[in-house]
Amino acid sequence: RGTAWTESLDDDGEDPLRGAAVAGMELSTTLHKVTDSGYLHALAPRISASTDLWYEESGGDLIPFDRTEDPIDGDRYEAGVRALWQRPNTFETFDLDLRTTVLKDRAGDLDDQREVATLGRYITGYGSGEGMLGILHDARYDLENAETTYTKSTFAVRPSEELLFEFSYGQARAIGREELYETGGVGGRWLIDPKWEIEARYSRDLRGDEALLTEFVLRRFSHDFVLDMVFQDRAGEGGTSIGLSFKPLLGWTRSRLGLLDRR
């Protein structure tokens, strides 16, 4: 496996390059059944082990975006399970993926690493059936240093087809364990009637205690067109801006608000 990047954490550093030859094995299976109440239940355990036969890297420090930047050198052991409960023909679901990873004998005298990762989503109805609740949690936990390295959590409520709210929280640490960001946000949409709709978003930097995004949209539907009046204040862009958007209704789609946005 070989990977090259065009940017690094070092402003004047060389572009990172990384290559390795890795050998290993993975065992997994999937078990499923339909319960008497109509739910589909699936369980998928897995276990894997690998080691590097050759490893080489050069350039600056990597900018972590996703699993592409995860370490690939040394001995790697991983065990995990995914569990799914779902009622067919509905949005009701509980989906949980849990895994633990151990990295040993890494290049450059790097410390051993033990990590637990979770990704879970729960969506259910409430009330007479029209209302919905949703929870999403994605996190990584460093067991060696007893700290959370990444978190993204969402709580969404949709009391009716016309009304939707969502609250979110995010936090991440760099490879050197310093905190990169910590943010909180809220968004909402209200379809007042077939012709008028209100949409709003707010995001805040919890470390610096300052607003990152404040946005309010007043939307008017006509027979053939959609008119948006947008009031927006985005950090670093010099203050509040006002904009108008006039688009044909044919082919127009709303921007996704979040977990329960099914429009």
Q: Output the pLDDT for position 108.
A: 65
CA atoms within 13 A on the CB side of 128: 4
> Can you tell me the distance from the alpha carbon of 243 to that of 201, in angstroms, rounded to the nearest whole number?
16
Alpha carbon distances (Å) from 138 to 77, 110, 121, 171, 183:
21, 26, 9, 11, 15
Does residue 16 register a pLDDT over 80? yes
Confidence of residue 46 (pLDDT cuts 50, 70, 90): very high
Answer whether 232's CB lies under 8 Å from 217's CB. Answer: no
Q: Find the mean pLDDT for residues 61-81.
A: 81
> Can you tell me the distance from the alpha carbon of 159 to that of 149, in angstroms, rounded to the nearest whole number?
33
Helix count and strand count (H, E) for the chain: 0, 15
**Which range among 55-59, 90-94, 105-109, 225-229 shows the weakest confidence by mean pLDDT?**
105-109
Torsion of the alpha carbons at 71, 73, 74 and 77, rounded to the nearest 10? 50
Q: Output the pLDDT for position 109.
A: 67
Answer whether 210's CB lies under 8 Å from 235's CB. Answer: yes
In this predicted model, which residue has the larger pLDDT, 207 or 91?
207
- Dihedral class, residue 239 (left if φ above 0, else alpha if ψ from -120 to 50, else beta): left
List pLDDT tens digits, range 187-214. Answer: 999 999 999 999 999 999 999 899 999 9
3-state secondary structure of 139: strand
Torsion of the alpha carbons at 246, 252, 257 and 259, rounded to the nearest 10? 180
> Can you tell me the distance from the alpha carbon of 237 to that of 253, in angstroms, rounded to the nearest whole number?
26
In this predicted model, which residue has the larger pLDDT, 111 or 203?
203
List pLDDT tens digits, range 209-244. Answer: 999 999 999 999 998 999 999 999 999 887 889 999
With vertex at residue 27, the alpha carbon angle to CA 22 and CA 29, rounded to the nearest 5 degrees, is 145
